[in-house]
Structure 1
Amino acid sequence: MDALTLLLTRQSCPRLTKPAPNADQMKVILDAAARVPDHGGLTPWEFIIAEGDGLSKLADIFEAAASQQGADDDFIEKAANMPKRAPMIITVVAKTRSDIKKVPELEQQLAAGCAAMAMQQAAFAQGLGAIWRTGSFAFDETVNKELGLEIDDQIVGFLYIGTPAIDMPLKPQKDGSQFARYL
């Protein structure tokens, strides 16, 4: 698949099944993330990969967070099942450095977001499916603590990756010019 086709046909794939990416595919996915724009070469990100038992651990973390939030039993059960929607989840974390004044923290968070997008594109280019999810757990203190994050770290998303469970019809192309204006 050429780069322009990839960019113009990429779409989220919410229904994923096994297999997860193999070792060679994961290397491409992680290497693509490491190539994103990164002002100052700070590499302000961390990728926490959950598959197999790791998905069970993530389910326990989500369940504990929902319970800590005072959610009802239905949501607590839903939270515990969220990691079962794909054979792999990569938690993408912005690890910002406030001591580097020439690179604002927002730029560092955006770089981590670019890494998430690059990983999704790399998965898609290799015939895999992926969907980038956030939700309340991306901003939850319990989740951060259980994942071992620092106080200034920010989860930018949970990238669910696997094999598409169904053929997704191609979404209609959007005309990007409708969102642009010239000075």
Structure 2
Amino acid sequence: MIMPRGSDQLLLPVNPFFIALTLLLAFAFMLLPFGRHPALPDLLAVVLVFWTVHQPRRVGVGLGFCFGLLLDVHQGALLGQHALAYSLLAYAAISAHRRLLWFGVVEQALQIAPLFFAAHLVSLLVGLAAGGMFPGWWMFLAPVIEALAWPLVTIALLAPQRRAPDPDENRPL
């Protein structure tokens, strides 16, 4: 079928090494010593949800759990706190991935924002149940920043798939 001129471009298959590289870079970003400000966005969660929505057969709950455990060990948090939050986040993203892909990136960000909020809330509740302190109301700003970053992350991570495989004047795709 020939696509009309105003429609979206067909995407090339994603390279599995690119998925791994972006997840590792997001994890490395989370390892940087920015301090413990509660309003800092969780870039690893955003990239994890992005790949879970766009590639649910390659990135899923197990990978979210593993990255969560690694982040728990690095931050000295209760073992399983981030692992539980990332696992639930990945599960919710897999559950909604077919519906999300029908919308534009702004609408996706609006639908993903409650998932980010729920992940932060789960992490907070686990920390409080283990005897931690409430980090302050600033922590509810992080899911908003993550939802605002969703369109930028989507554009950046889909860019390698948008290039033409073999550009030719006779083939516009």
TM-score normalised by structure 1 residue count:
0.28
Point out which structure has higher relative CO (alpha carbons under 8 A, 6+ apart): 1
**What is the TM-score of this pair, normalised by structure 2?**
0.29
Structure with the bigger percentage of helix: 2
Which structure has greater strand proportion? 1
